[in-house]
A and B are shown apart, each in its own frame.
Chain A
Amino acid sequence: MKYKNIKKAISTASIAALGVTNASDSIIDRMDFNGTLLFYSEPDRVSAVEAIFDSKYYMKNNDVLGLKITVDVLTGASASGAVTTDVDQTFTTPSGNGLYTTRANETPLDDTFKDTRISLSPSWTRRWNSNYKSVIGATISKEYDYLSLSANTMLSYNTDDNNRIYSLGLTFAHDTISPEGDIPIAFGVMQDVGALQPRLGTDDTRITADLLLGITQVIDSKSLFQINYSASASDGYHNDPFKVLSVIGADGRPVIENTTTGLSSAVFENRPDSRLKQSLYFQYKRDMFDSHVLDASYRFMFDDWGVTSHTLDVKYKYRLNDVSYLQPHARIYQQSEADFYMPFIVSGKEPGAGSSSSHASADYRLGEMTGYTIGLEYGRDNVDRPWSIALEYYLQDLGDIKGAFGGINSKAEDVSAVMLRFNMDF
């Protein structure tokens, strides 16, 4: 006996039963939003609020379009580079329109510092196949006295067994700085309010090329590591237009430029017009006891300015239960000083104004430094709207002022900051 073939009839009936799906039935929200808000405060110095809003749009063809918006507002004061001494000092603000006095034994801070930055970073990610992924992005960042434009690309190759990823990244950036009070002349002497300041032009530029080579390797079912080599070459204006060096007299106190106003003698810094930074970065991640995560990284960096630095960063995500965790964080950073770092210039030894071949900076960020960060994050994940809150304390222990004599304080004041951070997925 042969059974009657009812395939076609059943097939037709089944298609009718399934009905016509209407594409407009789609009610899916296909975007992801993440946000973070940071409050940063250095007592008596800088306060900052920074917000990042990141949105991702997942396209039907698997491409991902991203847009990251960063807004930050900084207010407060930062160290001008002038020495701390046992006498009061008077300086002219960068705009040349005002003056300020720093009391004896206080670190000279330029307190006219206020800025708002807005940055937009669109990106496009495409997974070409199971091996190759590319990201193309750009950033436009604008603040009152600064404009940065950059383009970046990253190509990564995932091996067939998905145990290793090779990454190659390139970034090109073009930065323009047009500071309040214009670009100072290298080693030009700070003048009194109202007088003609040593200025060269209204703006200057710098270009930067970054290269990143990375390998991410799965070690076993619980751990993985990453090694990155990166190089960053930049050419152009590298000075901080607001940073000066004190000119110190034989008595170990700043030379007084103008006895009537009491203006201390200070010259504007000058850094090399190119820099090549290289770094090696190792990161190790391991799951502990099927729930906690150890995340440790070490970075070795050096550049042709003579700065060498070591950074050790450890986080431990301690899972309290299915949906919440505590994450202590510790970071230690240690850097050597740049070749041209000097806390002050002895009177008579200062290079002539405009001397571009001489380099000197008293910016403490180029001096010896050890930074310590400790923090604790509490977060909820594996929930509809993951969020976290973190409190961190950051301390910069600066090296002694080498060659301090007379009234110059030999110990640089520590810089400390408190950070409060909220993260949220919308």
Chain B
Amino acid sequence: MQTYLLLTLGLAATMCCSSCSNLGAKPEEKTILARPDMQVDAQPLTSALDDHIYFSKEASSGGRGFGGGGCGCN
């Protein structure tokens, strides 16, 4: 059931994205978005550490990218 729920959510999100064609910025408006700290994963090593810690301390992992794993800590 939850699988379907998630897929529906995902599809809805995708369709929402496609329909909102007014989202976005023109090339000359991207000075701020080009800043290193405005990147989606601005601190990749910090993310990697966080993912590893929480992977080994909690029942959940991943989501952001391919987080956690690769160790025998869980």
| Beta-carbon contact of B63 and A421 below 8 Å | no
A36-74 CB mask vs B (1 if < 8 Å, else 0) is 101010000000001010100000000000001010101
Q: Mark A98-123, 1 if CB is under 8 A from B, else 0.
A: 00000000000000000101010000
Question: CB of A224 within 8 A of chain B?
Answer: yes
- A285-B40, A333-B58 are contacts. A150–B63 as well, Cβ < 8 Å? no
Cα–Cα, bound, A230→B37 (Å): 25
Q: When chains A and B are docked, how far (Å) is the Cα of A83 from the Cα of B74?
A: 20
A279 in contact with B33 (CB, 8 Å):
no
Count residues on chain A whose CB falls below 8 Å from chain B CBs: 90
Q: Is the CB of B2 within 8 A of A162?
A: no
Is A221 interfacial (CB-CB < 8 Å)? yes
Q: Is the CB of A220 within 8 A of B23?
A: yes
Main SS of the interface on chain B? loop
Cβ-defined partner of A52 (8 Å) among B32, B36, B49: B49
Other-chain contact of B71, A148, A208, A299 (Cβ < 8 Å): A148
CA distance A322 to B63 in the complex (A): 32
Bitwise, A213-241 to B at CB < 8 A (1) or not (0) is 10111111110101111101000000010
**Which residue in B37, B48, B53, B70 is a CB contact (below 8 Å) of A40?**
B53
**CA A317 to CA B37, docked complex, whole Å:** 9
Q: Check B38–A224 contact: CB distance below 8 A.
A: yes
Residues of B contacting A335 with CB < 8 Å?
58-60
A216 touching B40 by the CB < 8 A rule? yes
Kindly list chain A residues whose C-beta atoms are within 8 Å of the C-beta of B36. 381
Please tell me if A412 contacts chain B, counting CB pairs below 8 Å: no
The reply to whether B32 and A148 form a contact with Cβ atoms under 8 Å apart is no
A369 at the interface (CB under 8 A from B): yes
Task: Report the nearest A residue to B73, measured CB to CB.
Answer: A74
Q: A221 and B29 in contact (CB under 8 A), knowing A229-B10, A299-B63?
A: yes
A residues 183-211 touching B (CB-CB < 8 Å): 208, 210
Within 8 Å CB of A390, what residues of B? 46
Are B13 and A215 in contact (CB-based, < 8 A)? yes
Interface positions, chain B 31-74, Cβ under 8 Å from A, are 31-33, 35-38, 40, 42-46, 48-49, 52-54, 57-66, 69-74
Q: Is A376 an interface residue (CB 8 A)?
A: no
Query: Interface size class for chain B?
Result: 35 or more
B59: which of A169, A365, A417, A421 is its contact (CB, 8 Å)? A365
Contact status A148-B69, CB under 8 Å: yes
**Bound CA span A293–B40, Å:** 11
Residues of the A chain whose Cβ atoms lie less than 8 Å from the Cβ of B72: 115, 143, 145-146, 148, 175, 177, 179
User: Smallest CB–CB gap between B11 and chain A, Å?
Assistant: 10
Of B6, B52, B60, B64, which one neighbours A283 at CB under 8 angstroms? Answer: B64
Does chain B have a CB within 8 A of A404?
no
Q: How far is the CA of A70 from the CA of B52 in the complex (A)?
A: 11
CB distance from B21 to the nearest CB of A (A): 10
B70 contact set on A, CB distance < 8 A: 119, 139, 141, 148, 150, 173, 175
A91→B49 CA distance, assembly (Å)? 33
Does chain B have a CB within 8 A of A34?
yes
B56 to chain A, nearest CB (A): 8
Distance between B59 CB and nearest chain A CB, rounded to angstroms: 5
Chain A residues near B49: list those with CB within 8 A: 36, 38, 50, 52, 421
For B35, give the chain A residue with the smallest CB separation.
Answer: A287
How far in angstroms is the closest Cβ of chain B from A389? Answer: 11
Residues of A within 8 A of B32 (CB): 221-222, 287, 290
Residue A132 interfacial (CB < 8 Å): no
**Cβ-closest chain A residue relative to B68:** A232
Is A251 interfacial (CB 8 A cutoff)? no
Taking A212-B62, A421-B46 as known contacts, 14 extra A-B pairs with beta carbons closer than 8 A to each other, sorted by chain A number, are: A117-B71, A139-B70, A173-B70, A230-B62, A283-B64, A287-B33, A293-B37, A293-B38, A295-B42, A307-B59, A307-B60, A335-B59, A369-B58, A396-B57
Q: Which residues of B are at the interface with A, using a C-beta cutoff of 8 A? A: 2-3, 6, 9-10, 13-14, 17, 23-25, 27, 29-33, 35-38, 40, 42-46, 48-49, 52-54, 57-66, 69-74
Q: Which 3 A-B pairs have the closest CB atoms?
A: A146-B72, A163-B24, A281-B63
Q: List 18 A-B contacts (CB under 8 A).
A: A52-B49, A74-B73, A143-B72, A148-B72, A217-B17, A217-B24, A219-B23, A220-B23, A221-B29, A221-B31, A226-B40, A277-B60, A280-B63, A281-B63, A283-B64, A299-B63, A335-B58, A338-B59
